[in-house]
Amino acid sequence: MKQFVVSCLLVTLYTSTAAGQALVADMSENSISITSNFTGQDILLFGATDGPSDVVVVVRGPREDLVIRRKSRVGGIWMNRRSVTFHSVPAYYAVASNRPLADIASQALRTQHRMGGAFLDFPLAENSPSLTDEELIEFRRAILRNKRRDDLYFETERSVRFRERLFRTSIVFPANAPEGDYTVQTYLLRGGVIVDQESSPLTIRKAGLERTIFDLAHDQPALYGIIAIVIALASGWLAAAAFRRT
Amino acid sequence: MQIYFPIAELSLNVFVVLAMGGGVGFLSGLFGVGGGFLMTPLLIFIGVPPAVAVATEANQIVAASASGVIAHWRRGNVDIKMGLVLVAGGFVGSTAGSFLFKLLREIGQIDLVISLTFVVFLGVIGTLMLIESVRLILRSRKGTYRKKAHQHYWAHGLPFKMRFHKSKLYISVIPPILVGFFVGLLAAIMGVGGGFIMIPAMIYLLGMPTAVVVGTSLFQIIFVTANVTFFHSINTQTVDVLLAILLLAGAVIGAQFGARFSGRLRGEQLRALLGIIVLAVCAKLIVDLVFEPNDLFSIGETISE
């Protein structure tokens, strides 16, 4: 069914690019709900171009202030010693393209449009200690490395697949993808130049029971604590009563 | 089947969580211990953020001790007066502990402090258990076991004396308040009930009769861990109710099997086994602290803009 809908949309897109737009793109969904069975989700991005070209998709999660810490050995054990805060770090960042980014666009263009984790630029928070350039590079690299390990940052070259003028790719959102507003930016390039681009929003929100629990914990922490205690007392009492009979 | 836990913010297999609850519950039924000191490290090992592991486990212990105290209550083995004096100290200790926990979290040292306190307490307790059980096994072979005569404790000289009928004691309230305070502090930082400190302290320090020790300890643990749950909810929002409920479900069932199984093994062998388990968990924590981590850098807290 989903395939059928997508095919119909593709046909529509195909005809609309013929009508003048160089790039038309859409996604299978614009919102993701985190419910109790959430284990991550793939979103299908598809579209059409007006001729042979390259497609780069950049997905950015909500921006956050992020504290990164470096461990050092103190008396035989490893403990956090230095800590640095960066501003505007995307909580999630993914790049998909039809072939290696280096072959698609010049370094200047990739830097300008932040195509690739290496081109992300996180500013230091004002209250951060002063760092040498090497330290700054080391901390920035560590953010990329940690985020990649958590599956929150990735670059998948050759994941955008073309069939004539139609293209499609799937964007992976892991179970630990943070809540918030995401942007999905699709670039159409030809001969290393951006011909057209499209941006669409995507939101990830906790829903259902997960939403209720999370909101209660943060908006009414005292009530949440009392409820947690009451549930525990009641289930403890129930357990004792249930096993007393046997 | 995976379930997403809203506060821990990760997806875990339900059966893994139930099995962990069941396994620790089994051990607690088998050995008659709370199990918090095993559950918190296990939660950390499977990837639950340490702060969430501690706060959630405190919540689960409320249920476990409420369930356990009922049988002791019926047999009249709870010294309520002593329990309330311990709770008075425990409330202050656990509230202070929760604020200390918040502070340590902000400066990025909470994970280290949790690990270190576990290493110290698991190491000491595991070793003591092992030594004592080995000694008992050797003694029972020789067939000589002398019970210590009643002693006068230093605590008897302190002021603010109070009569505890059930425990047949007339002692100062200062030692129980201090014991309660210390155990409350540990409960907040480690996510444990603290029975493993409380029970020896009651017997050797306060001189309470062994019959009322377990019931009274469980009685005060309910209040102290409830206080920990409350203050961690307010200070750090780290109590995952969903995780606590699932752990509890596993633990309740496991504890019943454990209790049934315990008749088949001898006490000193049981204690040696528990000592070995405790030391194994301790060793794993030491390894994680001492060996160079794969990545020296780690991401701490994040604040959405």
The maximal CA–CA distance of chain B, rounded, in angstroms, is 71
Tell me the shortest Cα–Cα distance from B69 to chain A, in angstroms: 9
Predicted pLDDT of residue A133: 87
Predicted pLDDT of residue B36: 86
| Residue B248, CA distances (Å) to A135, B220, B277 in order | 46, 19, 21
- For residue B70, the chain A residues in CB contact (below 8 A) are 237, 240
Secondary structure class of A143 (helix, strand, coil): helix
How many Cβ pairs within 8 Å bridge chains A and B? 195
Q: Bridge-partner residues for A190, per DSSP?
A: A193
pLDDT exceeds 80 at position A4? no
* pLDDT band with cut points at 50, 70 and 90 for residue A85: very high
Report pLDDT digits (tens) over B137-168. 787 666 544 444 455 556 567 778 888 888 88
Report pLDDT digits (tens) over A100-132. 999 999 999 999 999 998 898 888 888 777 888
What is the rounded distance in angstroms from the CA atom of residue B187 to the CA atom of residue B36?
9
Q: Hey, are the CB atoms on B241 and A40 less than 8 Å from each other? A: no
Residue A20 Rama label (left phi>0; alpha psi -120 to 50; beta): left
Closest Cβ–Cβ partner in A87, A221, A236 for B67: A236
Burial group, residue B71, by CB count within 10 angstroms (0-12, 13-18, 19+): middle
> A2-205 in CATH: which number?
2.60.40.2550
Note whether B4 contacts A: Cβ–Cβ < 8 A. yes
Predicted pLDDT of residue B156: 63
Report the predicted TM-score, pTM, of the whole model to 2 decimal places.
0.85
- For residue B9, the chain A residues in CB contact (below 8 A) are 176, 178
Closest Cβ–Cβ partner in A88, A206, A213 for B242: A213
List the pLDDT tens digit at each of the 305 positions of chain B: 889 999 998 889 999 999 999 999 888 878 777 788 889 999 998 989 989 999 999 999 999 888 888 888 888 888 999 999 999 999 999 999 999 999 998 888 998 999 999 999 999 988 988 888 888 878 766 654 444 445 555 656 777 888 888 888 888 888 899 999 999 999 999 999 888 888 888 888 888 888 888 889 999 999 999 999 999 999 999 999 999 999 999 988 888 788 777 667 676 777 788 889 889 999 999 999 999 988 999 988 777 76
- For residue B109, the chain A residues in CB contact (below 8 A) are 79-80
Name the nearest CA neighbour of A79 among B54, B180, B111.
Answer: B111
Where do the CATH 2.60.40.2550 domains begin and end in chain A?
2-205
- For residue A229, the chain B residues in CB contact (below 8 A) are 59, 62, 226, 229-230
What is the rounded distance in angstroms from the CA atom of residue B239 to the CA atom of residue A217?
8
Note whether A74 contacts B: Cβ–Cβ < 8 A. no
Number of Cβ within 10 Å of residue A206's Cβ equals: 20
Predicted pLDDT of residue A34: 93
Predicted pLDDT of residue B206: 85
Report pLDDT digits (tens) over A150-167. 999 999 998 999 998 899
Predicted pLDDT of residue A1: 52
Closest Cβ–Cβ partner in A62, A77, A88 for B289: A77
Predicted pLDDT of residue B149: 44
What is the rounded distance in angstroms from the CA atom of residue B226 to the CA atom of residue B258?
25
Record the tokens describing residue A186, joined without a space: 């699709």
The DSSP H or E segment spanning B38 is helix B36-45
Q: By CA distance, what is A233's nearest residue in B?
A: B63
What is the rounded distance in angstroms from the CA atom of residue A221 to the CA atom of residue A225?
6
Report pLDDT digits (tens) over A214-243. 999 999 999 999 999 999 999 888 888 887
* B:155-194 residues touching chain A, CB 8 A cutoff: none
Predicted pLDDT of residue A20: 65
Predicted pLDDT of residue B143: 53
CB-based contact B185:B222 (threshold 8 Å): no
Note whether B234 contacts A: Cβ–Cβ < 8 A. yes
- For residue B188, the chain A residues in CB contact (below 8 A) are none
Predicted pLDDT of residue B141: 67
Predicted pLDDT of residue B260: 78
Please report the sign of the dihedral spanned by the C-alpha atoms of residue A93, residue A96, residue A100, residue A102: negative
Match 């409330």 to its residue by tokens.
B91
Predicted pLDDT of residue A19: 55
Name the nearest CA neighbour of A71 among B106, B50, B109.
Answer: B109
| Residue B170, CA distances (Å) to B8, B167, B179, B199 in order | 46, 9, 17, 19
- For residue B250, the chain A residues in CB contact (below 8 A) are none
Q: Bridge-partner residues for A204, per DSSP?
A: A32, A180
* B:250-279 residues touching chain A, CB 8 A cutoff: 252, 256
Record the tokens describing residue B280, joined without a space: 């194994």
Question: What ipTM was reported for this prediction?
Answer: 0.87
Tell me the shortest Cα–Cα distance from A152 to chain B, in angstroms: 12
Q: By CA distance, what is A225's nearest residue in B?
A: B230
